[in-house]
Amino acid sequence: MSLWSLLSTLILGRGSVLLLLVYLFRLSVRLWHRTQLWDLQHCSTDLTGKTAVVTGANSGIGRVVSQELARRGARVILACRNRKRGQQALAEIQAACKDACLLLWDVDMSSMASIRSFVRLLLQECPEIHLLVNNAAVCGIPTTLTPEGLDLTFATNYVGPFLLTNLLQGALQRAGSARVINISSAWQTHGYFDEEHLTGAGGPLTFNQNYYCSKLLLTSITGEFARRLQGTGVTVNSVEPGYVYTDIMRQLPWYFRFSFWISSFFIKDPIEGANPVLYLSLAKELDGVSGKYFSSSCVITSPPEAAQDPQMAQSLWNTSVKLANLNKTD
């Protein structure tokens, strides 16, 4: 055997072994993900006659959730900020699910004015809402103030869902039994509680910590909503979908996106990421369950301590009422 063929055998041999190992590792991680999933196929919940609102429905988890809700007969409001991307998602869902009843409406969740005009239109068309999925979020955006004086990340991920849920409270209660689902993140454990962040002030934030803090606030206010809506037939829970390969990192530097892409071989895809959100939306055993935080494997778990403190949540509520101008009548 020549030196060259000996070398190529060794290199190719090692390369193939390495590839095989990576492939086996990927396969076992993906199989493990599958074992964590809730059995969606065996859930018989039918949503005919029900109305669901999904924010950020045009991509990732929101798109998959919208499709499954529509497949089960719900009229689904795709609440999107970008009409073109919304139309594309609508066409894709419609193609996959011929009888889907979908409405595409514009809303910019970082703008309280936009949320108010969205709700005005929505309530004219849909006086009862059975499901609200607060899914839209941004990540990787440095402190930036919106024209309304809120920090863009906190406005989109926290104040917007706070206002939307409040403005839809009447419609949710009229439905008799309704669910609100707030999509949080396991990364919230790296956040901390500071209400001043909402207006772009407050304590220092390391890279992307505004995203983590906004998710912590969302989990905290979930508990406060649940306390306030007790006995009304409306339940409010939050869930973390796990590490899912979607467009969520689009604002982050290229090296983050690149490592996210590499990790995409091992992490969840949007169908798997949507599974715990669909569990909270559809599972019959969750009737009446409220104020809980669910892990990506659909288990009730304890959120970070700061998100469990009712006094902090109450104070956050009062601040949010002022910032979102909730008592404004129009």
Ligand X SMILES: NC(=O)c1ccc[n+]([C@@H]2O[C@H](COP(=O)([O-])OP(=O)(O)OC[C@H]3O[C@@H](n4cnc5c(N)ncnc54)[C@H](OP(=O)(O)O)[C@@H]3O)[C@@H](O)[C@H]2O)c1
**Annotated active-site positions, please?**
212
Does residue 240 contact residue 222 with C-beta atoms inside 8 Å?
Answer: no
Residues that bind ligand X (CB under 6 A): 55-56, 58-62, 80-82, 85, 107-110, 135-138, 156, 183, 185, 240-241, 243-244, 246-248
181 vs 316, which CB is nearer to ligand X?
181
Least CB distance to ligand X at residue 272 (A)? 11
Residue nearest to ligand X (CB): 60
Nearest residue (CB) to ligand X, 61 versus 175 = 61
Contact 293, 219 (CB under 8 A): yes
Enter the tokens of residue 287.
């009737």
Q: Per the structure block, which two tokens stand in for 236?
A: 């409010």
Q: Would strands 178-183 and 234-239 be described as parallel, antiparallel, or unpaired?
A: parallel
DSSP states along 164-227:
HHHHTHHHHHHTSSEEEEEE--GGGGG----GGGGGT-SS---TTHHHHHHHHHHHHHHHHHHH
Closest CB to ligand X among 123 and 186?
Answer: 186
Least distance CB 156 / ligand X (angstroms): 4
**What residues contact 149, with CB distance under 8 A and at least 6 apart?**
199, 200
By beta-carbon proximity to ligand X, the closer residue of 178 and 252 is 252
Rounded-to-integer distance, Cα 77 and Cα 238, Å: 20
Residue type, position 47, single letter:
L
Nearer to ligand X, 128 or 247 (CB): 247
Rounded to a whole number of angstroms, the minimum distance from the CB of residue 55 to ligand X is: 6
For 108, 134, 304, the CA distances from 91, given in Å and listed in that order, are 21, 22, 39
d(CA 312, CA 260): 34
In the bound complex, what is the minimum distance in angstroms from residue 134's beta carbon to ligand X?
Answer: 8
Q: How far is the CB of 3 from ligand X (least distance, A)?
A: 48
